[in-house]
Amino acid sequence: MPATDPPSSTGKTAPRRLLPLLFFAAAASTVLVALGTWQVQRLAWKEALIAAADARAGAAAVDPPPLADWPGFRPDDHIYRKVTLTGRFRHDQEIHVYTTLTRPKGDYGGPGYWVMTPLARDDGTIIIVNRGFVPLDFKAPATRAAGQVAGRVTVTGLMRAAEPRGRFTADDDREKNVWIRRDPERFAEFLGLPAESVAPFFVDAAAGSSPGGLPQGGETRLAFTNNHLQYALTWYGLAAVLVIVFGLFIRARLR
């Protein structure tokens, strides 16, 4: 009697061979959907920020949060709120933060510095004020003596939060008093100011707040890039394409 070949197992093993690909596709699509969902959440946050910035910057000026509220300060609850401060500038302690002003609202732009100056108030607290922008050639206070206002002053401006350090943020050059980001806590430590008396926020001074035009206030950027919807659709689209392509691939293999 002629020998017969054993039954082929190809049909049984083929689905098993596809299992690693199935797991990979499932994991990849899950990651893509998660990224899309994260962008949707970022979209909601950005839209809320834009709405809050427009409303707060356009409202009447109020007093800043009192000292008792500083330990629990939440930036999203206050940034871009218009406030009025009264006190005396400590011009001998001004900090210079390097920047490039690409779309100036005033006469000066390009590379230069934000001039950050402690404002000592009557209650003993200190609020760092970003008095505005100065070009590179006006870093030294003597080059803009008219703006070094002495005595008691009243400043109106917008509340801002400390800028976080990014992965590729350069180091500050404390020796030359050239900083990369605006952070009241770091400024207080550098200047030897009591940390508990320095506000956890700073204030961008309004335009026209300095005699002589420098520092140039009123340069707070209130136009925000909002591409989160496009990013979300891209991630969701990639997830859908992956599922479709993998489905067609599986269908062809099983045939």
Residue 227 maps to a domain: yes
Name residue 115's beta-bridge partners: 96, 132
User: What is the C-alpha radius of gyration for the chain, rounded to an integer number of angstroms?
Assistant: 29
**pLDDT band at residue 5 using 50, 70 and 90 as cut-offs:** low
pLDDT at 68: 94
Pairing state between β 126-135 and 198-205? parallel
Segments in the chain forming alpha helices (H): 10-58, 184-191, 228-254
Element counts in the chain: helices (H) and strands (E): 3, 6
Cα dihedral 85, 216, 184, 167 in deg (nearest 10): 150
The pLDDT tens digits of the residues spanning 26-35 come to: 888 888 889 9
Pair 197, 136 in one domain: yes
The pLDDT tens digits of the residues spanning 44-90 come to: 877 877 777 778 888 899 999 999 999 999 988 899 999 999 999 99
pLDDT at 15: 67
Task: Compute CA distances 13 → 17, 18, 141, 249, whole Å.
Answer: 6, 9, 79, 16
Task: Compute CA distances 177 → 111, 139, 147, whole Å.
Answer: 16, 10, 19
Pair 52, 144 in one domain: no
**pLDDT band at residue 4 using 50, 70 and 90 as cut-offs:** low
Range of the domain at 168: 81-213
Pair 100, 155 in one domain: yes
Pair 104, 190 in one domain: yes
Q: Tell me, what amino acid is at 255? A: R
pLDDT at 3: 54
Whether the full predicted model's pTM is greater than 0.85, yes or no, is no
Q: How many CB atoms lie within 10 A of CB 68?
A: 7
Pair 93, 59 in one domain: no
Residue 4 maps to a domain: no
Pair 103, 20 in one domain: no
The distance of Cα 227 from the centroid of its chain, to the nearest Å, equals: 15
pLDDT at residue 12 tops 70: no
Residue 8 maps to a domain: no
Cα separation, 231 vs 246, whole angstroms: 23
